Amino acid sequence: MTGASPIDSIADSERITRIRIIIRGIVQGVGFRPFIYRLAKELDLNGWVSNSPDGVIIEAEGGGESLKKFLLRIPQDKPSLASIHSMEHTILDPENYSDFRIELSQSSGKKTALILPDIAVCPDCLKEIFDPANRRCLYPFTNCTNCGPRYSIIQALPYDRNNTTMKRFEMCERCQSEYNNPSDRRFHAQPNACPLCGPQLVLKDKNHTIAARHDALLQTVEALRKGKIAAVKGLGGFHLMVDAGNDDAVNRLRLHKAREEKPFALMFPSLEMIEKVCLVSEMEKRLLFSPECPIVLLKRKRYINGDVKISPSVAPGNPYLGIMLPYTPLHHILMRELNFPVIATSGNLKDEPICIDDETAMMKLSNIADLFLTHNRPIARPVDDSVARIIADRQMIIRRARGYAPLPIQMRTNGRTIIAVGGHLKNTVALAKDDSVFISQHLGDLETEEAYASFKETIDTFINLYESEPDLIVCDMHPDYLSTKFAESSGIPVVKVQHHHAHLYSCIAENEIDPPLTGVVWDGTGYGLDATIWGGEFFIHDGDDLMRKAHFRTFPLPGGDTAIKEPRRTAIGLLYEIFGESIFDSEEYHPLNTFSPIEREILRTMLKGSINSPKTSSAGRLFDAVASIIGLRHFNNFEGQAAMELEFLTENYDSEQCYEFLIIQSGDALIIDWQPAVLRILDDLRNNIPPEEISVKFHNTMAAVTFDMAQRIGLEKIVLSGGCFQNKYLIERTIGLLQEGGFRVYWHQRTPTNDGGISLGQAAAVKS
């Protein structure tokens, strides 16, 4: 794939930094290693380059500016016969190399069966699609060796046409000639096809076929212009599409999809149109145009150019929009015809997998979509769009799916094959084999039978594709997780890994860090070793043991899981921990005033008798509680909504102030007491301090807690993981404090910091 991969920010130009780059594609036997050697010498970098069983591996060390140029020029200046399918890099600590050399090929061991992710259409194919003289003009399934479907169509290894969903399409003479020609860029391009021999579009309503081929696309365009909702079958499943500027259409989609306020993803025709609506940095541009082409979270402009309309219902109250550019020929043709942004949200019902076949889509989506633009190329498995953002000047993957899955993370497993089944929310599964951990696409929350079936199918897919017989199956400790129950019934020896240990190990594995280190893991919920709900933890990893060194003071959650959906309950639990029953005799507190007198008495009884009121140390629940205490949000209409809205308040206020907190020794552990901060927040409310100021001060306090604990523990390496660190203000503030204090800070770049990274962490925890 041509075009630059997203470039992570590398430290200032004077500091020596090491990066490891793994390049897969046509990169062996084409002069690639000598090219890398010459480029590294030109840029005064040290390190090495080597062929490996699954591509080319490079380690380069030098100043930040030189490394940035190196990353940019590899795809720009590569040998003419080379083709880069994927290019991943990780920032690592220096090794102090003295020169740059070409290493002998790493040929020992069994070759890894490498399945590439689905790749966005390349510039060469895109040019052909809009060339009236080309035989593939306006053909929505154009691809070549450098781009197109991979993971979404493969059914077995080896990766050849007969083992993909393209096996039903026999290539015409001209396509076969391209496929057989080593000098052609379609040489051994397994999905190769053209209008004569390949898949075709069909437009349907609930009962009839309306149109075919290009006319099907044009009629879909006309329907979208009229405010209709179209279910469009793409690369890894169906999108539900509607005009993003049509308020009535967007609200109708929300109503029928039962999606009250959760933001919708958008697809824009061009970068120029995106820049009329959002602020776009150079790094965000690279991410938008990358081969992975994820949804990128972009900051809205305060004043939008009047000729681009985005309905307020697309992302209510959210200063960010999730935006992607077209990534398949079908999307490019569709968006060029429309020339306005559309919602492009997953074609599924709540908590179910994205629909991948016509029959399922018609059954599940017929009460949502007016029309179905589909095609006859089968999809082997559901693959959602990936989601990413730039945090602390680096790419952070929020949802790892199309474009990234199932590329592996390198990690030694000491000869054992391990299947890790992840958690309950944002589930992924992982297969650790040889020196790689292959991570599945985002599978979602295991809340429905359909989601659980997809989870089991993905495990079977990984075991079969990689011809593996797992020695171990690893799961979460929570006894009620469906993933845990699956592991226990599998017949394979089971190892259970505590939820927050898995978070920490996932970040350690991704960053290739050696202990000793301090782990900071903050999220909403995790089954703790002491039967409480963890989520605000500090660990020490000394190389042998992982010890819980500190945590936030616990407080009760009246209603248990219900409190996750109702931050007002979390807030009452927090206030009860401070004031006891007296809170129920007061009219002062925002969250309490949302309950009726009868409900208050029920809550009083629950808390007094510790009935269905489990204790938690969760940092995520602290954010929820503060959001409710200040009257911002008492009910979550989607996961994390209250905490997100509390973060959004930081966009409009700048302050270095923070609240007080206490750190108390309790046996071998330290307890971080949030009570002084909560009392000051209540004082600020009485004094009519703006909620924006309270939010910034609270975020600053949470960052200061981490810095204080890092100083007390005294280890140089600090690892940040857990869903709370998706909060841009929190993590950037925390990183800044720690780095200014001389600590080396590590966080997630290529795998999600949320529960989407749990499966990797589970595998890493039992690797030795």
Cβ atoms of 324 and 295 closer than 8 Å = yes
| CB within 8 Å of 204: residues ≥ 6 apart | 210, 358, 362, 371, 372, 374
* CATH topology assigned to domain 201-375: DHBP synthase (3.90.870)
Cβ atoms of 244 and 310 closer than 8 Å = yes
pLDDT at 1: 38
Site of tokens 């030694």: 412
**For residue 356, which of 369, 365, 344 has the smallest C-alpha distance?**
365
In our burial notation (b when 16+ CB lie closer than 10 A, e otherwise), range 339-366 reads ebbbbbbbbbbeebbbbbebebbbebbe
Residue limits of CATH 3.30.420.40 in the chain:
521-755
In CATH terms, 17-102 corresponds, of 3.40.50.720, 3.30.1330.20, 3.30.70.100, 2.30.180.10, to 3.30.70.100
| CB within 8 Å of 125: residues ≥ 6 apart | 136, 142, 143, 144, 146, 147, 148, 329
> CA 381 to CA 461: how far, in whole Å?
9
Residues in the chain with pLDDT values less than 70:
1-14, 25-26, 28-31, 53-54, 80-81, 83, 105-114, 158, 182-183, 305, 768
The reply to whether omega before 516 is within 30° of 0 (cis) is yes
Token output for 671: 């307890």
Cα separations in angstroms, 496 against 147, 345, 477, 493, 538: 39, 35, 5, 10, 20
pLDDT at 128: 98
> CA 517 to CA 522: how far, in whole Å?
16
pLDDT at 106: 61
Tell me what the pLDDT averaged over the chain comes to.
Answer: 92
Quick one: how far is CA 163 from the chain centroid? 29
Token output for 387: 């989601």
Render pLDDT for 133-153 as a digit per residue (tens, 0 to 9). 999 999 999 998 788 999 999
Render pLDDT for 669-684 as a digit per residue (tens, 0 to 9). 999 999 999 999 999 9
Q: Classify domain 521-755 at the CATH class level.
A: alpha beta
Site of tokens 């391209």: 178
For 555, which DSSP code? E
Site of tokens 């020490």: 540
Residue limits of CATH 3.30.70.100 in the chain:
17-102
pLDDT at 3: 40
Residue limits of CATH 3.90.870.40 in the chain:
201-375
pLDDT at 2: 38
Tell me, what amino acid is at 52? S
Pairing of strands 278-279, 265-267: unpaired
> CA 549 to CA 668: how far, in whole Å?
7
Render pLDDT for 252-264 as a digit per residue (tens, 0 to 9). 999 999 999 999 9
Q: What is the pTM of this model?
A: 0.88
Q: Burial level of 2, CB count in 10 A (0-12/13-18/19+)? A: middle
What would the DSSP string read from start to end of 385-441? PPEEEEETTEEEEEE--TTTTTPEEE---TT--EEE---SSSB--EEEETTEEEEPP
DSSP bridge partners of 61: 18, 46
Percent of the chain with pLDDT over 90: 79
Cβ atoms of 33 and 50 closer than 8 Å = yes
Cβ atoms of 178 and 188 closer than 8 Å = no
